[in-house]
Amino acid sequence: MRRPLLAGLLPLAVLAVSCEAEPEATHSPVAQHPCVVGEGTGDEKLLQAALRTERFELRYSPAESLVQRLEQDLRRMKPGASTVARDMCHYLPEPSSGSGRVTIDLSWTSPGLLDRSGVPQERYTPYTVNGVAAEATDIIAKFRIPCRLPGDLEQPSKEALLRAALGNTRSIGRDDPETQKRHITLLYGMAQRAVEAMGCENEPLQGEPVVQPGKR
End-to-end CA distance of the chain: give it in Å, rounded: 40
Q: Work out how many domains the chain is built from and give that number.
A: 1
Q: Is residue 174 part of a domain?
A: yes
pLDDT tens digits, residue range 181-196?
A: 999 999 999 999 999 9
φ/ψ of residue 128, rounded to 5: -125, 145
**Strands of the sheet with 140-145, listed across from one edge:** 5-6, 56-60, 86-93, 102-109, 161-168, 140-145, 132-136, 125-129, 211-213
Q: How far is CA 35 from CA 102, 150, 156, in A?
A: 12, 24, 26
pLDDT tens digits, residue range 48-86?
A: 999 999 999 999 889 999 999 999 999 999 999 999 999
Q: Is residue 193 part of a domain?
A: yes
Give 100's DSSP letter: -
Give the pLDDT score at 167.
96
Q: Is residue 198 part of a domain?
A: yes
Q: Is residue 68 part of a domain?
A: yes
Q: Is residue 199 part of a domain?
A: yes
Q: Is residue 118 part of a domain?
A: no
- Domain, as residue range, for 162: 63-88+98-113+125-207
Q: Is residue 42 part of a domain?
A: no
Q: Is residue 142 part of a domain?
A: yes
